[in-house]
Structure 1
Amino acid sequence: MRHSLYLPLCTLLACAHTQPVAAPASSPAPAVQSAPADPESQLREALQRAGRAMEAGRFDAALSEMQRLWEGGRQTDEVAWFAAYASLGTGDDAAAFQWLERAVERGMGSPGDLLHDKSLEPLRRMPGYDALVARARENALKARAEGNVGAGLEQATPAEAGLSEPALAAFVKAAEESGSSALVVLRHGKLVGEWYFGGETQRIESMSATKGVVALAIGLLIDDGRIPSVDAPVSTFFPEWKDGLKGKVTLRHLLSHTSGLAANASAMDIYQSPDFVRYALESHVVDAPGSRFFYNNKATNLLAGVVERASGEKLDAYLMRRLFEPLGIRDVFWQKDPSGNPLGMSGLRLHPVDFAKVGQLMLQRGVWQGQRILSEAWIRECTAASSQPHNPAAGLLWWLVYEKSFRVLGQDMVDEARRNGMPEATLARLRDMVGQPIPSGDFMRRLSERLGGMKGVMALMEKSARVPLRTQVEGAPKAYSARGSYGQLLLVAPEQGLVVVRMAVPDGRVPEDVMEFSAFNELALSLVPPS
């Protein structure tokens, strides 16, 4: 019997359990290569082919890809994990179980996935599954020790940290109910708690929260004198962009989603490309740079190319040397395209408590354990105020959190969706939402309810092309965050001395709109009682 797979297949690459490519802190940064090594390039291409095959329901083809890799010597936990999913798709539960065993034997340390992923339900009744979970837990604990995960953080009780214990209990409960895989809370630089909801710590794909870390790379390069200014033209690094509208695009435009670079609401077209940086370079600029805001994955992938041109190192290698190693973060993986470019739009996998250390660096204005890592000026540039006049919540790849924030579905967006063929009966369900400021925390839930789930929401975004939702705010920013799909969240609240990370692996436990954890900001900021 063929089974439904609940893990969104477009994120399967992101959720695989690849061994880290970054060197330990005591080792030199990886050498820069002009092109990826052939075996690694072949592996990435094979995994992408397998992912596309599974998206198309061709599980036999995906399994064949994984078997070829395995028989060719690529006997890793990642390949085995892919093969298990492909086997489930073909209905061969016994083979899927064997592939999971191989994944665990080779270090897969994700007991939470084994416990919660709905795709694996057919296997949980099989003899030996509980032992498999236990071995994965052992792997996770071993990886935490070897990876120095969370090192350098002192601990404090909620009372010592001045947090409301009832508010914290409510927050943890809500995090679990929203399908969270992890929740981490720091106050004044001390670790108040880590919660893993039946699992253990593991590297989790941060999705678009990766973009906030990419912004730090640009700031570090400015600090290093490798980039003259955030207002430097992209053509400084890619001379082929010196003419026309492309010649007017600056790094600030790329960082603020105002480059005018042609983009879609989803990233599926990007995943079809063998070279994400080249794909961005060859795309058209369709709006005057700075004239409008449109969330742009291509632009952030291009920033990965800028980092390489400016530093002589790949994005992941540069950040390992300049950011992660100084923070004591060793167990990091960064997804790459088939040509070996680290993604800018997503792809950073790290432990939630280590992600919190990045937030703590921001809170401490760029200083870690007495060492200046990043300039305070760059942190202010990214997070202190809106980066452009079109979206008041957008900093430079960081998002500002206001006292009150609203999303507005404009009539222009509905009209554009209608012109592009969205059924009138579907659009009629949105009539009472059009033009109404709806609290940001409730907006996506209400939109999802009317459109039958997140697939309907994505269809609206695609059909409305380049007409974005509008954002309205009240009051002043009181925090800032990096955020990504499925509710990957890193919140920094400077006035409260608070850093909170919530991460989640999409496993089918809860609907996708629930996974977004719309109450996160409100609950996190309620942890510190009013003075």
Structure 2
Amino acid sequence: MRRLLLLSLSGLLACAHTAPVNTTPSEPAGGARRTSADEPTQRPEHKVSGPRAKIAPAPPPEVTYAINQAWKESSTGAHAQAVERLKQTWAQGHRFPEVAWYAALEAARAGDTGASFTWVELAVRHGFTDPGGMLKARSLEPVRARPGYDALVAQARKNAREARSEAGVGSGLETVSAREAGLSEPALEALVKAAEETGSAALVVMHQDRLVGEWYFGGDSHLIESMSATKSVVSMAIGMLLEEGKIASIDLPVSTWFPEWKDGRKGQVTLRHLLSHTSGLDTGSSSTRLYDAKDLVRHALDSEVVAPPGSRFQYNNNAVNLLPGIIERASGQKADAYVKRRLIQPLGIRDFRWDKDPSGNPVGMAGFQIHPLDFARLGQVMLQQGVYRDQTFMSRDWVRKSTAATHPDAPTSGLLWWRLYEKPPTMTLVQPMLDEAHAKGFPKTKLKRLQDMVDKPMPQDELGAALIERLGSPEELTAFESKVRNARYALKQEGEVMGFAAMGSGGQKLLIFPKHQLVVVRMADLDERVSPGTMAFSHIVPLVLDLVRPAPGASRP
């Protein structure tokens, strides 16, 4: 289920779409629900009286497609039409809490608070597990004033805790206090405060495979859409296939698996090109079009290669959507089934989802939903060079190669991973981009709105938010960038590489710092509780690094 359109921003904004379901406990502290290491060193499973909630089944592809189409209608202001689509989906017997939740949001946006309340009630009755979203989603503000709403929040919290218990999220995990781990307690407090202020749904801090703390800011742990961080899970799947010998090399041509690509420019495209955003495959004029596709693998195969493979870096959802097709042909399983068998189940993770297109293909560019604490387990595998608790998932060499820079135009990009510097890179809109877009028919009136941004360096997340604000929508930004094939944003990156990350739209972040043995997960529900620029939480890396260095004048524990 998607909520926001992808931004490419020369590919350096990690983005995509979907929405979640939810689950987790902790004592509220300053509005944040925290579990930390002042508790026992072995984390028990949560005990819930009465029958346990079952792990909810994932909505089938046709439901995901209906929700995506409703989102598209909502993005044009057709909220009543979106409600009607979701109402029809519900009437067809698809009684999933996600359907009711999105219907509640759309009914509220359409001004029908009564209908919105009814839909919230249906969502909770059918197992909805995101009390934080119920408390903070901006569109539900008038609905929250209705009698009985607090009781629904309480029931959703109960649903969440039962679902977490059923899934065993966090069970068997050792805990440690910040002081015991040698981390700065004031820095941790600052990080948690910033996470709350930026609209986070979850923050998890791990040190040496021990839990320092997890915070849910009035909500509970639940499956959260990782957006484009999904791409890094796809990269891990390729690494596992290499480890098994089911893929011999990432320098093999795509025609190895899809012979129809053996001729012309398509014959020159390798698996490495797909992984490094350098395939030259047409990105399409809008990511909305990708969500219209009934078969994303076929959509990618039918697209044209519009630039010489390897010649330039361009963030490319369309190309990444071809990778699940390659994983299936190499492994003999759908990508989600392969990842479940080779990675998810061996890690003891029992609750995750992966959206599929109407043809049953797991989506490559987004759609992976997971509990934040379980996402940290995936990060721990990468931190430990592909080996976790005596299980080898991928080679040390693959971890190194997939997190190294792959193209001179993109020093922050690896093979579907992002390299972390202490300071975020700056990106600059340059005049040749406007000139090229104008020459290719992009409206002059819209380009005028961007003129005062030219030659002004900005952090990449802030630049993306500013461009969307000026142009009016993510679709317009994608349309602008699709006109620009030769000119490109000026990128400046300084300083030492500190780690690597999986990142997605809305500030979804799995941050890994091998030198400091730190894994940090920050995830957010895209419910408009704060502005997109704020939710991006672009200043998180220095805040995390403050954990391992004392503030000026302060002594370390």
Query: What is the TM-score with the length of structure 2 in the denominator?
Result: 0.84
The amino acid of 1:483's aligned partner reads M
Displacement of 1:378 in angstroms is 1.0
Name the residue aligned to 1:394. Answer: 413
Matched, 1:426 2:449: yes
For residues 108-123 of structure 1, the aligned pairs below 5 Å read 108-123=128-143
SS in 2 for 1:526: helix
Name the residue aligned to 1:32. Answer: none
SS in 2 for 1:510: coil
For residues 465-476 of structure 1, the aligned pairs below 5 Å read 465=482, 466=485, 467-476=487-496
- The worse-fitting range, judged by mean Cα deviation, of 121-130 and 261-270 is 261-270
Matched, 1:183 2:203: yes
For 1:55 and 1:458, the matched residues in 2 are separated by 10
SS in 1 for 2:18: helix
The answer to whether the 8 A contact 1:417-1:460 is kept is no
SS in 2 for 1:246: helix
For 1:504 and 1:454, the matched residues in 2 are separated by 25
Name the residue aligned to 1:79. Answer: 99
Name the residue aligned to 2:247. Answer: 227
**Which sections of structure 1, spanning at least 5 residues, go unmatched?**
1-6, 20-38
For residues 345-424 of structure 1, the aligned pairs below 5 Å read 345-383=365-403, 385-404=404-423, 405-419=425-439, 420-423=442-445, 424=447
- The worse-fitting range, judged by mean Cα deviation, of 416-425 and 249-258 is 416-425
- The worse-fitting range, judged by mean Cα deviation, of 76-85 and 289-298 is 76-85
Matched, 1:252 2:301: no
The answer to whether the 8 A contact 2:20-2:223 is kept is no
The answer to whether the 8 A contact 1:12-1:51 is kept is no
Name the residue aligned to 2:479. Answer: 462
The answer to whether the 8 A contact 1:13-1:51 is kept is no
For residues 45-444 of structure 1, the aligned pairs below 5 Å read 45-264=65-284, 266-383=286-403, 385-404=404-423, 405-419=425-439, 420-423=442-445, 424-433=447-456, 436=457, 438=458, 442-444=459-461
The answer to whether the 8 A contact 1:353-1:501 is kept is yes
For 1:471 and 1:450, the matched residues in 2 are separated by 16
The answer to whether the 8 A contact 1:261-1:285 is kept is yes
Displacement of 1:332 in angstroms is 0.2
Higher relative contact order (CA 8 A, sep 6+): 2
For 2:366 and 2:467, the matched residues in 1 are separated by 28
The answer to whether the 8 A contact 1:16-1:81 is kept is no
- Deviation string, structure 1 residues 10-37 (Cα, Å, up to 9, x no partner): 9997214399xxxxxxxxxxxxxxxxxx
The verdict on how the C-alpha distance between 1:202 and 1:418 changes in structure 2, with shifts beyond 3 A counting, is same
The verdict on how the C-alpha distance between 1:432 and 1:218 changes in structure 2, with shifts beyond 3 A counting, is closer
For 1:338 and 1:397, the matched residues in 2 are separated by 25
For 1:65 and 1:460, the matched residues in 2 are separated by 27
Name the residue aligned to 2:506. Answer: 486
For 2:464 and 2:317, the matched residues in 1 are separated by 23
Task: List structure 1 runs of 4+ shifted beyond 6 angstroms.
Answer: 9-13
The verdict on how the C-alpha distance between 1:475 and 1:287 changes in structure 2, with shifts beyond 3 A counting, is same
CA RMSD of aligned residues (A): 2.4
For 2:461 and 2:80, the matched residues in 1 are separated by 36
The verdict on how the C-alpha distance between 1:451 and 1:56 changes in structure 2, with shifts beyond 3 A counting, is closer
Displacement of 1:371 in angstroms is 1.6
SS in 1 for 2:245: coil
The answer to whether the 8 A contact 1:77-1:104 is kept is yes
The answer to whether the 8 A contact 2:184-2:547 is kept is yes
Matched, 1:505 2:522: no
The answer to whether the 8 A contact 2:22-2:129 is kept is no
Percent identity at matched positions?
49
Aligned residues: 499
- Deviation string, structure 1 residues 170-220 (Cα, Å, up to 9, x no partner): 111111111111111111111101011110011110000110110000111
SS in 2 for 1:14: coil
- Deviation string, structure 1 residues 459-486 (Cα, Å, up to 9, x no partner): 3453132444243333442210111111
For 1:321 and 1:95, the matched residues in 2 are separated by 42
Query: What is the TM-score with the length of structure 1 in the denominator?
Result: 0.88
The verdict on how the C-alpha distance between 1:50 and 1:432 changes in structure 2, with shifts beyond 3 A counting, is closer
Name the residue aligned to 2:541. Answer: 521
- Deviation string, structure 1 residues 50-81 (Cα, Å, up to 9, x no partner): 33333344444433333333333222212222
